Structure 1
């Protein structure tokens, strides 16, 4: 097995900086790929948290002016990861979210900020760092969408390029008058380049010019090639269908391990599943729920948006909670949805407990203490919470879309009888179908042997990065050979 050098370009990476699943993927891939003979180094923006965590720092390149100010390209290590960091204080030395200003709106210079990330990545692809020239550059989401563009303009030999879509709803669309400011010649502003309905499309450009395109589940790879799922990019993706593939995400089994999770009151595995009830008890106490081991405790760990289907949970709350059921919710997002859950917690005291915001420890505790985890998304590229739920013995209840359809085996009669079921699926994504799934869950909950079988089957499923890593390694090698 030949060795391969890959540069991963990501706007966030776990555990240093995280807003969503992209960070988990970027953080987990390096160690998973090492077993496949792939050395993966990640380039990230120099946010304050990244610079604070960085060790063994070396300056590998300097920019007198990188989209508005001087910058340095650093190399180093942080939390066990090999990193390149774009140290550009005028672009990244600011508090809060990587993408949003304190007022909750996009940073007004996001085009320049993430063009800088792409520019530095392309320079690394051309060998600007002594001793490191990647065979493949792997760009993640719109924030890295200009990498294939800058590399295509280099003229010299270049590495292979892979563009991954984590969520096609976020595309990075900016005014056309930024073209020259972003270092893009007029020749790139065409339908075969960065132009997208008269504007500059970062994701569109990456999808147009990358050698290969991946997304995070096979079903989502099909969905984004339809008008309903492609969000304006379906025609481009259909035209490049031969370059598109879906590779399921995994989860880091060291981070998500119920037998050794420091966030849990009681660790456990398949052989000690009965002790899991202590985590349920602690979760009920933490969120002000009635202490009752017999209550069916539903969990939610999610952004609170319509995309995630949380409005369906709100609309069906009376049916969800009927018959001695509870809800433990962690998330933030749409203010209307947040306020509705706050109100519901008052209306249903002891049955609904909410924490609004992000709390990694509480996310683990909900996985380890809830009986079932709700993931009713209207669309879901892959989803990670349902994989964590299986690992932790919380039965996933999911909509039949994207990666949820690919990862959960529905508890229909045959699947239960054969011991293959790992959760419940429902479709279409509607209130009626969601309520039917709630009722199915309650019926199964009353049959504790059947429920235990669902837990046991889910916990032994392979949700690791082993299989995805092999597929990425094969893709990289094919892409490197074709470059």
Structure 2
């Protein structure tokens, strides 16, 4: 039996701010339990829902040295959907209304978490063969394992994997404070180790010292070796290219299933999509006060409203899009200028644009089920999950060819009649607009072709099972 411990700062269903939580919550239950014992460790946040806190079972507590003080470490656990989850408890670090807050404070609390994870292992009676670290918040685990935890027999031979979910976020702080908090010596504060510019960098530490590195799509694994996408770490990525692999994320096919989804008005599957999907469109048009018309080309957007997601392209073309025979339904929050932009167009074109500047899981499902197309013109996208959800619901993605979008959406080829969506290559507003209008043309004038793309999209498998097999191969390669 191979033992793997996932370490992460957020995990569905306990705490979530983004896609990282979906990955770490969904993936562990997909491994073959005959050969892999995969468990998860995360902080016990005060802002977790009470129903989860009530189910936690106390294991033990101890004190450890951290940042020059003796710090309390409480350990709790819970088995959920067949997976064991451990929780690190410290009210000094993990109170607060949100899991993340002040940058400097986050650096300190996740340094504490990383040291506590390793300190807890002998007490938990679980010695993993591999510790799988997710994003910068867990970046010091491979470093500490190499440093102060190397002495004991217990830790010898434990391998580490570092997964980059988004290279933009790295966990850096000025070198003096970084050393003082982490307890690491000046030996580590060099450019070939943890130093980046004048800062210590948690993610860089993980990338230097982990035995293997993964990221969340094959294209993103290539892109981060370049200066444009590498966020200042492209040289390190090139140096470690033999240890770097891209494994595309999946989605939970139980949660995202149009045949059983309780959040949508009318269920359907690949065989009933053309008769029944339209009911969801009618219901959403009515709910949002849009013009009720079965033949309106309805485009969905569910996203953080930020530059990374390509909203400057949409803003540039929004007036022109609204002159066309389309409807646009937006759900999400983000930068003020984009929130205001969508509110303005919803006011100006109330029968065409619906601006829902909040987040709701139920509304997101309704949009995936109701829309004809789904727009994701990202500047960069390590993996992206929304396009996988839209494929599952027969809502054709219109994406820019970057990262995971390029790996998961096959652009429609009119001559070969192949494809699962529409894509454009350059980060250019006119190119995006032309691709949207090409999709509109296929929808309006070549409905038979459109319907065949919908079938091809819905028959794709982006469940977690396929990804889990690739992770298993990596663990086998590491452990031998």
Per-residue deviation, residues 364-405 of structure 1 (Å, max 9, x unmatched): 111011110001001000111000100001000000101100
Q: CA deviation at 1:49?
A: 4.3
Q: 1:121 to 1:471 in 2, by over 3 A?
A: same
Q: CA deviation at 1:290?
A: 1.5
Conserved 8 A contact 1:58-1:76: no
Q: How does 1:2-17 map to 2 (within 5 A)?
A: 3-17=1-15
Whole-Å separation in 1 of the counterparts to 2:416 and 2:113: 47
Per-residue deviation, residues 389-439 of structure 1 (Å, max 9, x unmatched): 0000100000010110011110122342xxx31000111011011011111
Conserved 8 A contact 2:333-2:359: yes
Whole-Å separation in 2 of the counterparts to 1:121 and 1:223: 31
Conserved 8 A contact 1:61-1:129: no
Per-residue deviation, residues 149-200 of structure 1 (Å, max 9, x unmatched): 1111112404110000111111111111221222222222222332221211
Q: In the alignment, what sits opposite 1:116?
A: 112
Q: In the alignment, what sits opposite 2:312?
A: 311
Conserved 8 A contact 1:61-1:128: no
Q: SS of the residue aligned with 1:74?
A: strand
Q: CA deviation at 1:18?
A: 1.3
State the TM-score, normalized to the length of structure 2: 0.94
Q: How does 1:83-232 map to 2 (within 5 A)?
A: 83-96=85-98, 98-100=99-101, 106-124=102-120, 127-153=121-147, 154-156=149-151, 157-178=156-177, 179-232=179-232
State the TM-score, normalized to the length of structure 1: 0.93
Q: 1:358 to 1:65 in 2, by over 3 A?
A: farther
Whole-Å separation in 2 of the counterparts to 1:119 and 1:347: 54
Whole-Å separation in 1 of the counterparts to 2:103 and 2:376: 30
Q: In the alignment, what sits opposite 2:408?
A: 407
Q: How many residues align?
A: 468
Q: How does 1:233-382 map to 2 (within 5 A)?
A: 233-273=233-273, 274-382=275-383
Q: CA deviation at 1:318?
A: 2.9
Q: SS of the residue aligned with 1:19?
A: coil
Q: SS of the residue aligned with 2:375?
A: strand
Whole-Å separation in 1 of the counterparts to 2:119 and 2:157: 10
Q: In the alignment, what sits opposite 1:383?
A: 384
Per-residue deviation, residues 83-141 of structure 1 (Å, max 9, x unmatched): 11111111111113x223xxxxx3541111111221122234xx323431101001111
Q: In the alignment, what sits opposite 1:42?
A: 40
Whole-Å separation in 2 of the counterparts to 1:279 and 1:63: 55
Q: Which moved more, 1:439-448 or 1:191-200?
A: 191-200
Conserved 8 A contact 1:73-1:120: no
Q: 1:141 to 1:122 in 2, by over 3 A?
A: same
Q: In the alignment, what sits opposite 1:430?
A: 428
Whole-Å separation in 2 of the counterparts to 1:343 and 1:293: 25
Q: CA deviation at 1:17?
A: 1.4
Q: CA deviation at 1:320?
A: 2.4
Q: 1:38 to 1:474 in 2, by over 3 A?
A: same
Conserved 8 A contact 1:15-1:79: no
Per-residue deviation, residues 344-370 of structure 1 (Å, max 9, x unmatched): 111111111121122111111110111
Q: Which moved more, 1:240-249 or 1:48-57?
A: 48-57
CA RMSD across the alignment: 1.7
Whole-Å separation in 2 of the counterparts to 1:144 and 1:475: 19
Stretches of structure 1 lacking an aligned partner (at least 5 in a row):
101-105
Q: CA deviation at 1:286?
A: 2.6
Per-residue deviation, residues 299-337 of structure 1 (Å, max 9, x unmatched): 001110111001211211233233321011111111111
Q: Which moved more, 1:293-302 or 1:14-23?
A: 14-23
Whole-Å separation in 2 of the counterparts to 1:51 and 1:350: 38
